[in-house]
Structure 1
């Protein structure tokens, strides 16, 4: 590792004293960076789908373009974790933002000057996915550097993520209807520029020296060993491979189909807004909660999210659909905050980026596999039975989470 003037992966910046304000200048800047980046990511599916369809490449073209981004993210995530530990997370995150700024600007120019080829779109989105893989591992290790209260910080970030998830597609939909995909891609690119500027403005504690004594591949293997050595960590990921695939991964697309078919697209929009509002409420709840055993408490979130598939399967009145999805959003956000905080406080700083990369890779594989299997599984027995099965599996996985002693008994650090 080269000399660095910012906090490297081997040291954390000094923590704020207990009870100090969360809203330091560093945290405000980091929140600004994450909010801008999350808003841009939420705009991508709308802009890309409309642009590819307008160019005449059909639904298959949309799948190829989004799949290229996802494939690059999955393939490169582990390498991104090692690079963040070698060269500092902020450096890799800024580099990733610059690459995504250039890539999405190229998309804007391509759509502004005519219909780009499908191959061009796929290549550009693959590059964007590679850059995102360089960015994402640092998300975990940056929080302890910019916030004294890690859990409250994660709660605020989860609220920002939920808000971006609701506002991003809505804003993109309005803009793409009014002025076309080129404008959305230009704004999308700009969000990464804002993120890079905010990250560069952070004032992180200096370190005297940071020297890398291991090869890239040795560090990658070390990350796996540290991941495998923590039974609570790999235990959660192993259970989540089932939960993420057959509960979250399956229920999101199939649930949307059921709602559109039974109630119409307007109700789907209302339901998704309720889900986002639940994310805000869940993040606020997690900011205040201080459970002694965070993963055992977080299991409540898994159980609440199981309402997501069962609600549309029962075809209830719209009000109950909205309530069910709101509670599901609360659960997902509550679990997300407690899980992120646990990982960030239990893993040593010099290993956090690599270990977190294994965590994200496992979760990503499960979600992608679930979305891929959703259609074929629904064709076997129907959409409603599949959603009931997803709910049952969600509750079973929640029980497994609580049944593993290493997970249930893990105590919080701060």
Structure 2
């Protein structure tokens, strides 16, 4: 295992990604980091509630969103300039150090809310460079014909982190309070660093490297590259519309739906479990097959069908039916998300992939969550049915865009 940041060039082989030790090291690092993130959020929410009022805790939990959104595009520039592997290693090391420092502080004293707010601010700032680098790294560790399979494997890692992280965080809080939970989160993130150091990356040939200038000019060049690309430009619109129509109904909307139907928290949990199972099945399918033909058309059709299922969820009176629809939504959303992610990975020039990922992530992680308070207000004013219907229409419009743009509709994944 090399300890340098400039490993030897990756040798291209026909080995499937799920049998490639290099990809598996990356997957282990990614999975450990994501589980650590889940434990961190449990610890942060618990510590904030214990140290302040519910309103103050809510502010602490939202502090990371602003720097993440504001700095995300700049993070894409950094990932492309320094290389995604180096940025991911540095980001994980910084996140680990920050979390362990707060854990130690909580062990020694009761400092109140300020270190929690500072930690959330640091996490959001580091995430702004971590997220684009994570998106750009797979294209450097395997061949293009394996990137769809890698998307499926990454989806499985995310589902695993969602299932395992919350119980681990709760166990840490139960055994030793927020300090123990933060310590556990820091150790899990720390596991990813040596694994990432052992990952070999393919260096870009000199002819394939994008010209560099100032940070502003590099960002402008990345945006021009996306705008002029015949697949990536409409794909960004599809991703934005899909996320905007999806986030509200499946977050705050689902909470209100469960309350008004009398399903309670356990019923909402079953619906979320149905969605998670469907999304996990989609990731497993892609990880096993490695490729689906006519990726652009599959993405368009699954988005449109999934949007219809989202609209139907508001009109199902019984919990069993809602769980079934949630399972279908998860399966279709998982397939469409994986296809869009795989197309983004394979269509983008690796020299611009950090900036391309930053633009797509800005919508999902920075702007789309802002739709949640509007969804809640709209449901209060007009009811569940109209809001779910409008959200489904917005989501479905993304599929219509994919169908109407020939280059995107005909886009294929490499064999």
TM-score, normalized by length of structure 2?
Answer: 0.89
Provide closer, same or farther for how the CA distance between residues 212 and 299 of structure 1 changes in structure 2, counting only shifts above 3 A. closer
Conservation of the 8 A alpha-carbon contact between 1:44 and 1:188 = yes
> How many Å apart are 1:307 and its aligned residue?
6.0
Provide closer, same or farther for how the CA distance between residues 20 and 239 of structure 1 changes in structure 2, counting only shifts above 3 A. closer
Match of 1:160 in 2: 157
Provide closer, same or farther for how the CA distance between residues 294 and 401 of structure 1 changes in structure 2, counting only shifts above 3 A. same
Unaligned runs of 5+ in 1: none
> How many Å apart are 1:115 and its aligned residue?
3.9
Conservation of the 8 A alpha-carbon contact between 1:286 and 1:338 = no
**2:137 aligned with 1:169, yes or no?**
no
SS at 1:22's partner residue?
helix
> How many Å apart are 1:199 and its aligned residue?
0.4
Q: Distance in 2 between matches of 1:378 and 1:40?
A: 34
**How do 1:174-253 and structure 2 match up within 5 A?**
174-205=171-202, 213-253=212-252
Out of 28, 33, 54, the residue aligned to residue 32 of structure 1 is: 28
Match of 2:51 in 1: 55
CA displacement, residues 177-197 of structure 1 (integer Å, 9 cap, x when unaligned): 443222221111112111111
> How many Å apart are 1:211 and its aligned residue?
10
Conservation of the 8 A alpha-carbon contact between 1:237 and 1:363 = no
Alignment length (residue pairs): 406
Match of 1:298 in 2: 299
Q: Distance in 2 between matches of 1:140 and 1:256?
A: 31
Conservation of the 8 A alpha-carbon contact between 1:245 and 1:371 = no
Q: Distance in 2 between matches of 1:47 and 1:88?
A: 31
Provide closer, same or farther for how the CA distance between residues 226 and 65 of structure 1 changes in structure 2, counting only shifts above 3 A. same
Q: Distance in 1 between matches of 2:252 and 2:356?
A: 29
> How many Å apart are 1:404 and its aligned residue?
2.4
**2:170 aligned with 1:141, yes or no?**
no
Q: Distance in 1 between matches of 2:162 and 2:317?
A: 25
CA displacement, residues 42-72 of structure 1 (integer Å, 9 cap, x when unaligned): 33433222221111231x2233222211111
Conservation of the 8 A alpha-carbon contact between 1:242 and 1:366 = no
Conservation of the 8 A alpha-carbon contact between 1:304 and 1:330 = no
> How many Å apart are 1:133 and its aligned residue?
1.5
Match of 2:354 in 1: 353
Q: Distance in 2 between matches of 1:277 and 1:24?
A: 26
Conservation of the 8 A alpha-carbon contact between 2:254 and 2:268 = no
> How many Å apart are 1:176 and its aligned residue?
2.5
**How do 1:226-375 and structure 2 match up within 5 A?**
226-261=225-260, 262-287=262-287, 288=289, 290-306=291-307, 309-310=310-311, 312-375=313-376
Conservation of the 8 A alpha-carbon contact between 1:69 and 1:129 = yes
SS at 1:136's partner residue?
helix
Match of 2:393 in 1: 392
**2:114 aligned with 1:119, yes or no?**
yes
Provide closer, same or farther for how the CA distance between residues 260 and 308 of structure 1 changes in structure 2, counting only shifts above 3 A. farther
Q: Distance in 2 between matches of 1:308 and 1:33?
A: 35
Unaligned runs of 5+ in 2: none
> How many Å apart are 1:200 and its aligned residue?
0.7
Match of 1:109 in 2: 104
Q: Distance in 1 between matches of 2:410 and 2:58?
A: 42
Deviates more, 1:358-367 or 1:272-281: 358-367
Conservation of the 8 A alpha-carbon contact between 1:96 and 1:131 = yes
SS at 2:335's partner residue?
helix
> How many Å apart are 1:396 and its aligned residue?
3.6
Q: Distance in 2 between matches of 1:214 and 1:145?
A: 23
CA displacement, residues 321-348 of structure 1 (integer Å, 9 cap, x when unaligned): 2221122111222122212221111111
> How many Å apart are 1:137 and its aligned residue?
1.2
Compute the RMSD of aligned alpha carbons: 2.6
Q: Distance in 2 between matches of 1:410 and 1:208?
A: 26
Provide closer, same or farther for how the CA distance between residues 21 and 361 of structure 1 changes in structure 2, counting only shifts above 3 A. closer
CA displacement, residues 127-150 of structure 1 (integer Å, 9 cap, x when unaligned): 111111121112222212323411
Q: Distance in 2 between matches of 1:15 and 1:133?
A: 30
